[in-house]
Amino acid sequence: MIRLFLTKLYNEKLAFYSFVYLIFLILLSIIAYFFAPYDPDVQDLSNIMAPPNSEHWFGTDELGRDIFTRTLIGGQAAIQAGIVGILIPLFIGVPLGVISGYVGGIIDDIFMRIVDAVLSFPAILLALAITGALGVNLWNAMIAIGVIFTPQFARLSRGQTLQIRREPYVEAAKISGSGPIWIMMNHIIPNISSPIIVQASFSFSLAILIEASLSFLGMGAQSPQISWGGMLHQAYSMIFVNPLMMVFPGLAILLSVLAGNFLGDGLRIMFDPRTSRL
Amino acid sequence: MFVQFFLRRLMYVIPMLIITTLIVFSLILLIPGDPAVALLGENATEEKIAALRSQLGLDQSILAQYWNWLGNAVQGDLGRSLFTGENVSQTVISRLGVTFQVVLLAMFFSFIFGSVFALTSVLKPNSFLDYIARFFGVLGTAIPNFWLAMILVVIFSVQLGWLPATGFISVTQSPVDFFKSSLLPSFCLGAFGAAQITRQLRSSLIEVMESEYIRTAFSKGLLKWSVMWKHGIRNALLPVITTIGLLFGNMLGATVVMETVFALPGMGQLAVHSILQRDFPMLQGVVLIMVLMIIVINFITDIIYGLLDPRIEFK
Residues of A in contact with B275 (CB under 8 A): 128-129, 131-132, 136, 219
Average pLDDT over residues A20-27: 90
Residue B107 has pLDDT above 90, yes or no: yes
How high is the pLDDT of residue B144?
92
- From the number of C-beta atoms within 10 Å of its C-beta (0-12, 13-18, 19+), residue B130 rates as middle
Tell me: do B104 and B144 sit in the same domain: yes
Q: Give domain status of residue B52, yes or no.
A: yes
Strand partners for A66: A60
Tell me: do B105 and B137 sit in the same domain: yes
Q: Smallest CA–CA separation between A178 and chain B, in Å? A: 35
- From the number of C-beta atoms within 10 Å of its C-beta (0-12, 13-18, 19+), residue B14 rates as exposed
Reduced to 3 states (helix: H, G, I; strand: E, B; else coil), residue A137 is coil
Q: Give domain status of residue B119, yes or no.
A: yes
Q: Give domain status of residue B92, yes or no.
A: yes
Local confidence band at A273 (pLDDT 50, 70, 90 cut-offs) = low
B31 Cβ under 8 Å from any chain A Cβ = yes
Contact call for A129 and B283, based on CB within 8 A: yes
Residues 39-78 of B with CB under 8 A from A: none
Rounded to whole angstroms, the Cα distance separating A58 from A77 reads 19
Torsion of CA B52, B58, B63, B66, to 10 degrees: 20
Q: Give domain status of residue A47, yes or no.
A: no
Residues of B in contact with A235 (CB under 8 A): 150
Q: Do the Cβ atoms of B88 and B78 come closer than 8 Å? A: yes
Tell me: do B160 and B188 sit in the same domain: yes
Rounded to whole angstroms, the Cα distance separating B48 from B28 reads 18
How high is the pLDDT of residue B310?
66
Tell me: do B50 and B182 sit in the same domain: no
Rounded to whole angstroms, the Cα distance separating B254 from B266 reads 12
In terms of pLDDT, which residue wins out, B295 or B233?
B295
Interface of A with B (CB under 8 A): 113-114, 116-118, 120-126, 128-136, 205, 209, 212-213, 216-219, 232, 235-236, 239-240, 243, 246, 250, 253-254, 257-258, 261, 276, 278
Contact call for A133 and B16, based on CB within 8 A: no
Tell me: do B220 and B178 sit in the same domain: yes
Tell me: do B44 and B101 sit in the same domain: no
Tell me: do B133 and B152 sit in the same domain: yes
Which among B142, B257, B272 has the least Cβ separation from residue A257? B142
Reduced to 3 states (helix: H, G, I; strand: E, B; else coil), residue A50 is coil
Rounded to whole angstroms, the Cα distance separating A46 from A63 reads 9
Strand partners for B106: none
Tell me: do B93 and B207 sit in the same domain: yes
Local confidence band at B69 (pLDDT 50, 70, 90 cut-offs) = confident
Model confidence pLDDT, tens digit, residues B168-219: 777 777 777 777 788 889 999 999 999 989 888 888 888 887 778 778 877 8
Percent of chain A with pLDDT over 70: 97
Q: Give domain status of residue A205, yes or no.
A: yes
Contact call for A261 and B138, based on CB within 8 A: yes
Residue A265 has pLDDT above 60, yes or no: yes
How high is the pLDDT of residue B94?
87
Local confidence band at A99 (pLDDT 50, 70, 90 cut-offs) = very high
* Residues 6 or more apart whose Cβ sits within 8 Å of residue A116: A151, B16
Reduced to 3 states (helix: H, G, I; strand: E, B; else coil), residue A66 is strand
Contact call for A213 and B144, based on CB within 8 A: yes
How high is the pLDDT of residue A84?
94
How high is the pLDDT of residue B312?
62
Model confidence pLDDT, tens digit, residues B239-255: 788 888 889 888 999 99
SS (H, E, C) B140-163: HHHCCHHHHHHHHHHHHHHHCCCC
Q: Give domain status of residue B15, yes or no.
A: no
Specify the CATH number for the domain of residue A221: 1.10.3720.10
Q: Give domain status of residue B9, yes or no.
A: no
Rounded to whole angstroms, the Cα distance separating B292 from B218 reads 46
Total structural domains within chain B = 2
Which among A120, A235, A250 has the least Cβ separation from residue B298? A120
Q: Report ipTM (2 d.p.).
A: 0.86
Rounded to whole angstroms, the Cα distance separating B128 from B124 reads 9
Tell me: do B248 and B285 sit in the same domain: yes
Q: What domain range includes position B37?
A: 32-77
Rounded to whole angstroms, the Cα distance separating B298 from B214 reads 31
Contact call for A133 and B143, based on CB within 8 A: no
How high is the pLDDT of residue B171?
74
The Cα angle at residue B132 between residues B128 and B135, in degrees rounded to 5: 135
Residue where a domain terminates, one of B77, B106, B131? B77
Residues 136-155 of B with CB under 8 A from A: 137-139, 141-147, 150-151, 153-154
Average pLDDT over residues A221-225: 83
Of the candidates A77, A87, A61, which has an alpha carbon nearest to the alpha carbon of residue A29?
Answer: A77
How high is the pLDDT of residue B315?
47
Q: Smallest CA–CA separation between B137 and chain A, in Å? A: 9
The Cα angle at residue B219 between residues B213 and B220, in degrees rounded to 5: 90
Q: Give domain status of residue A36, yes or no.
A: no
Tell me: do B102 and B51 sit in the same domain: no
Which among B142, B144, B274 has the least Cβ separation from residue A261? B142
Percent of chain B with pLDDT over 90: 19
B203 Cβ under 8 Å from any chain A Cβ = yes
Q: Do the Cβ atoms of A203 and A152 come closer than 8 Å? A: yes
How high is the pLDDT of residue B251?
92
Model confidence pLDDT, tens digit, residues B20-39: 999 998 888 888 777 777 77
- For B98, what's the count of Cα atoms within 13 Å in the CB-facing half-sphere? 24
Q: Do the Cβ atoms of B244 and B196 come closer than 8 Å? A: no
Residue B223 has pLDDT above 80, yes or no: no
* Residues 6 or more apart whose Cβ sits within 8 Å of residue A184: A95, A98, A99, A102
Mean residue pLDDT of chain B comes to: 83
Of the candidates B165, B140, B259, which has an alpha carbon nearest to the alpha carbon of residue A243?
Answer: B165
Contact call for A118 and B23, based on CB within 8 A: yes
How high is the pLDDT of residue B314?
55
Q: Give domain status of residue A276, yes or no.
A: no
How high is the pLDDT of residue A278?
45
Q: Give domain status of residue B187, yes or no.
A: yes
Buried residues in A170-205 as b, exposed as e (16+ CB within 10 A):
beebeeeebeeeebbeebbbeebeebbbbbbbbbbb
Residue B140 has pLDDT above 50, yes or no: yes
Tell me: do B229 and B277 sit in the same domain: yes
Q: Give domain status of residue A49, yes or no.
A: no
Strand ranges, E, within chain A: none
Question: How many inter-chain contacts (A to B, CB under 8 Å) are there?
Answer: 144
Residues of B in contact with A238 (CB under 8 A): none
Total structural domains within chain A = 1
Q: What domain range includes position A194?
A: 8-31+59-271
Tell me: do B52 and B176 sit in the same domain: no
Q: Give domain status of residue B179, yes or no.
A: yes
